[in-house]
Amino acid sequence: MRALFGLLMISALGGVLVAGMALPFVGTAGLAAKSASDHFEDIPDDLKTPDLPQRSQILAADGSVIATVWGDFGNRVIVPFDAISPNVWQALVATEDSRFFEHGGIDLKGTFRAFFADLSGANQGGSSISQQYVKNVLVLEAGNDKAKYADATGNSMARKLRELKYAIAVEKKFSKNEILERYLNLVPFAENVSGIEAAADRWFGVHAAQLTVPQAATLIGMLKNPVAYDPAKHPQAATDRRNTVLDRMADPTVHYITQQQAEDFKKTPLALKVTPQHSGCIYAVGSSAFFCEYIEQEILNNPIYGKTKADRAAFFNRGGLTIRTTMDPKMEKAAETAIKNNVSPTDIPGAAIAMIEPGTGRIKAMAQSRDMGTGEGQTYLNLAADPTHGGGNGYQAGSTFKSFVAMAGLEKGLTPDYVQNLPAKIDETQTKFTVCDNPKGTTQDTHWQPTDETDEEAGPQTMTSALWHSVNNYFIKLQELTGICEPARLAAAAGVTIDSDNGTGKPLEQYGSFTLGANQVTPIAMANAYATFAARGMYCKPTAISAITDTSGKQYPVATPDCHQTIDPTLTDQLTGMLQGVVSQGTAAKIRETYTGPAAGKTGTNDSRLMTWFDGYTPNLAAAVWVGIVSPKPNDKGLVNVKIHGTNYPKVCGGCLAAPIWGQAVKGALAGVSVPAFSVPELSGEIPAPIQNTPPPTGPPNGPGGQNGPGGGFLGGLLGGQQ
């Protein structure tokens, strides 16, 4: 049966072999029959120019590498022929196809020798380098498809015929050097390493152009059986195989080296310099792993990179991309240092920070207390981001939402010194708020009892002083005047929605505790909202990718900042004037222990103290800090009498933990950077006399008593006017 199979194969392939042998001598017209020539030239496009997957690099804004990533078969760096040491292709030709430069795709002599050896029961390779190239292309195309892989590697006559046909056409289309270049960039080595450049880096820590004769012989020797001849795992077998390759290189039929050189090289040790090959964001340093993951998820979820999820995954996994991000390494380091100096990975709460540049939407940093992983004090959840970027649904925003209610009050014509005489407690049955979907109706939270923590907060307060000291009752009563619809609209104008960092999520819930931040939001969303305040009402959609190019220099689209005016600058100016006092002498005064530059912002702590915030900004940087229970449950106790990073906290609050983290992070992030002063002065929180509850003005926004009219708006606030 063996003899019969051999004879059948020889008969079936005879014409093909003769044509292949003739090609070097008669050029493209050398095929015996025109029909056969046309048939053999018909190579599929994907075989002509296989799209080799390779490594991609994710870079910081300054060009430094955050991470290197690749998919299956993608640990590859494609290099041109002149960037490969001649020692490599000489070792390959000597070992695999010594008549490579003489035949036309099929080594007739070698093939017949292999057939007759097979008849006698011995297995002997007869494939030319071109045939091996074709086979490797078909294996690559098969990917993880078991049926296609079996078809590409099986011992069927159809497979051998296909390889022979394609090998002849490959030789007609490409020069010998081009075939060697393509082969050496394609072939798989061990440990998911593909291509000679990645192999040189992996086992010897050099480029392919620097490989010595024994190094080249070691790597080419692996091709016979990459696992068995892996020099790191099987050094003796790899050494023996290397020596065989050296003998082949010294063979008189090729004579790339002398026999004496071969003997000298065989005496040398392997001298490996194994370089770790790490793929994926998890190998990025510290919190930058989460920035890296944010980038990957942005590509996999953004339609500009493909219509379907599969298309986007193919684009990313094909690799060969240089992805430049908006991450500023100095700011990233400052953010992570501030977080980890205050909250330990294994502490009960987690902590996260996001930094965004006002007026551009560029995410400059994101960091958290827990590194990426599955060990103690680790997580794969990005605490700063939304679900589509590797994060969760966010966390209750606390009193940071009072800023939106304050702007709604200003929009109605109230001034920053608008006074309310507050009771110690507010009866929830008496608090009613209009909502967007029913302007004439009201909403109530029947299970919500709004109170301030101390009776001292009862009495007269201005809007400014209430922001400084985060007086709940003031903003609950103010929300009765504004309704919830207007603060919700302003929050949406600043990009705050549910389950989204970029303003495309579900609308915020409108209920009585809106001003106290009962909605769940992410640190990135809140950092960008306060960046909108810093940019005087100019909203920019958050962006994290600045450029994507491939190895050919082709540029791919990236999301634009999409900046546009969404909030009247007179509102944000007045808000900034008030929020500066929160930092200078209000609930966030601890910031001044580290950062002394221009700053404005708002603290926040939810009712049950499960989480706390500080969202703030300078004229050129906005940041949001969150500290809280990562996955809160209904019966969880708040952060009361808890030890965090070795410090005991009777009651964790935004001013005592989140605000100091913000100050330390921003100080480091802006070190050496000129920070301009705000264009508006800090407003006084003093309570003018006489004290009275004053209803909001009824005139139009620009009329008497309106936000831009006499005695109203920013000017009225500066002059101490009272409505």
Instruction: Tokens 């606030």: give the residue.
Output: 717
More confident residue, 234 or 11: 234
> With 90 as the cut, is the pLDDT of residue 222 above it?
yes
Tell me the DSSP string of 320-389. Answer: -EEEEE---HHHHHHHHHHHHTTS-TTSSSEEEEEEE-TTT-BEEEEEESSEESSSTTEES-BTTS-GGG
Whether the Cβ atoms of residue 250 and residue 257 lie closer than 8 Å to each other? yes
Whether the Cβ atoms of residue 703 and residue 368 lie closer than 8 Å to each other? no
Whether the Cβ atoms of residue 594 and residue 666 lie closer than 8 Å to each other? no
> In whole angstroms, what is the distance from residue 366 CA to residue 353 CA?
6
Does residue 257 lie in a domain region? yes
Select from 590, 613, 625 the least CA-distant residue to 398. Answer: 613
> With 50 as the cut, is the pLDDT of residue 710 above it?
no
Give backbone dihedrals phi and psi of 194, rounded to 5 degrees, phi first.
Answer: -130, 145
> With 80 as the cut, is the pLDDT of residue 121 above it?
no
Confidence of residue 44 (pLDDT cuts 50, 70, 90): low
Q: What is the mean pLDDT of residues 598-621?
A: 95
| Per-residue model confidence as pLDDT tens digits over 281-300 | 999 999 999 999 999 999 99
Three-state SS across 459-495? EEEEHHHHHHHCCHHHHHHHHHHHCCHHHHHHHHHCC
Exposed/middle/buried for 563, CB within 10 Å: 0-12, 13-18, 19+?
middle
Q: What is the mean pLDDT of residues 541-565?
A: 93
Select from 586, 584, 583 the least CA-distant residue to 623. Answer: 583
pLDDT at 25: 32
> In whole angstroms, what is the distance from residue 498 CA to residue 181 CA?
52
Does residue 247 lie in a domain region? yes
Check whether the bond before 226 is cis (ω within 30° of 0): no
pLDDT at 157: 74
Whether the Cβ atoms of residue 398 and residue 654 lie closer than 8 Å to each other? yes
The helix (H) or strand (E) run that includes residue 229 is none
pLDDT at 117: 42
> In whole angstroms, what is the distance from residue 556 CA to residue 549 CA?
6
- Can you read off the two tokens belonging to residue 722? 């009272």
> With 90 as the cut, is the pLDDT of residue 202 above it?
yes
Does residue 200 lie in a domain region? yes
pLDDT at 227: 96
> In whole angstroms, what is the distance from residue 152 CA to residue 138 CA?
6
More confident residue, 228 or 191: 228
Three-state DSSP class for residue 45: helix
Three-state DSSP class for residue 400: helix
For residue 127, the enclosing domain spans 2-42+73-266
Average pLDDT, the chain: 85
> With 70 as the cut, is the pLDDT of residue 51 above it?
yes
Three-state SS across 14-67? HHHHHHHHHHHHHHHHCCCCHHHHHHHHCCCHHHHCCCCCECEEEECCCCCEEE
Select from 608, 602, 606 the least CA-distant residue to 579. Answer: 602
Select from 178, 197, 209, 225 the least CA-distant residue to 76. Answer: 197
pLDDT at 172: 86
Q: Which of 149-163, 375-389, 599-613 has the lowest mean pLDDT?
A: 149-163
Structural domains of the chain, count:
1
Does residue 388 lie in a domain region? no
| Per-residue model confidence as pLDDT tens digits over 619-630 | 999 999 999 999
Instruction: Tokens 């005695």: give the residue.
Output: 711
> With 80 as the cut, is the pLDDT of residue 119 above it?
no
> In whole angstroms, what is the distance from residue 584 CA to residue 549 CA?
46
Whether the Cβ atoms of residue 213 and residue 265 lie closer than 8 Å to each other? yes
Whether the Cβ atoms of residue 410 and residue 706 lie closer than 8 Å to each other? no
Select from 195, 166, 197 the least CA-distant residue to 182. Answer: 195
pLDDT at 489: 97
Does residue 695 lie in a domain region? no
Longest dimension (CA), the chain: 114
In sequence order, the β-bridge partners of residue 687 are none
pLDDT at 702: 37
Q: Which of 85-89, 612-616, 634-638 has the lowest mean pLDDT?
A: 634-638
pLDDT at 428: 62
pLDDT at 73: 74
CATH number at residue 200: 1.10.3810.10
Three-state DSSP class for residue 538: strand
Three-point CA angle 290, 293, 298, nearest 5°: 130
Q: Which of 133-147, 185-199, 567-581 has the lowest mean pLDDT?
A: 133-147
Helical ranges in 97-156 per DSSP H? 108-119, 129-142, 146-153
> In whole angstroms, what is the distance from residue 559 CA to residue 545 CA?
7
378: Cα separation from own chain's centroid: 18
Whether the Cβ atoms of residue 656 and residue 613 lie closer than 8 Å to each other? no
End-to-end, the C-alpha distance of the chain in Å comes to 106
In sequence order, the β-bridge partners of residue 419 are 462
pLDDT at 637: 84
> In whole angstroms, what is the distance from residue 659 CA to residue 641 CA?
19
> With 80 as the cut, is the pLDDT of residue 342 above it?
yes
Whether the Cβ atoms of residue 562 and residue 540 lie closer than 8 Å to each other? yes
Q: What is the mean pLDDT of residues 575-585?
A: 97
DSSP single-letter state for residue 173: H
Q: What is the mean pLDDT of residues 453-479?
A: 87
Highest mean pLDDT among 38-42, 315-319, 364-368: 364-368
Q: What is the mean pLDDT of residues 28-55?
A: 50
> In whole angstroms, what is the distance from residue 375 CA to residue 554 CA?
40
> In whole angstroms, what is the distance from residue 409 CA to residue 403 CA?
10
For residue 584, the one-letter residue type is S
Instruction: Tokens 């190094």: give the residue.
Output: 215
| Per-residue model confidence as pLDDT tens digits over 640-670 | 999 999 999 999 999 999 999 999 999 999 9
In sequence order, the β-bridge partners of residue 611 are 628
Whether the Cβ atoms of residue 409 and residue 481 lie closer than 8 Å to each other? yes
Confidence of residue 114 (pLDDT cuts 50, 70, 90): very low
* Cα separation values, 149 from 74, 143, 486, Å: 17, 7, 61
Does residue 351 lie in a domain region? no
pLDDT at 722: 27
> In whole angstroms, what is the distance from residue 300 CA to residue 310 CA?
9
Tell me the residue ranges of DSSP E strands in 166-297.
none
Q: Which of 140-154, 225-239, 310-324 has the lowest mean pLDDT?
A: 140-154
> With 50 as the cut, is the pLDDT of residue 712 above it?
no
Confidence of residue 229 (pLDDT cuts 50, 70, 90): very high
pLDDT at 427: 67
Q: Please give the model's pTM, rounded to 2 decimal places.
A: 0.84
Whether the Cβ atoms of residue 442 and residue 433 lie closer than 8 Å to each other? yes
pLDDT at 23: 37
Confidence of residue 706 (pLDDT cuts 50, 70, 90): very low
Exposed/middle/buried for 123, CB within 10 Å: 0-12, 13-18, 19+?
exposed
| Per-residue model confidence as pLDDT tens digits over 399-432 | 999 999 999 999 999 999 999 998 877 766 567 7
Q: Is the dihedral of CA 544, 550, 551, 553 positive or negative?
A: negative
Three-state SS across 590-653? HHHHCCCCCCEEEEEECCCCCEEEEEEEECCEEEEEEEECCCCCCCCCCCEEEEECCEEEEECC
Could you count the other beta carbons within 10 Å of the beta carbon of residue 230?
19
Does residue 10 lie in a domain region? yes
pLDDT at 545: 97
The helix (H) or strand (E) run that includes residue 414 is none
Does residue 274 lie in a domain region? no
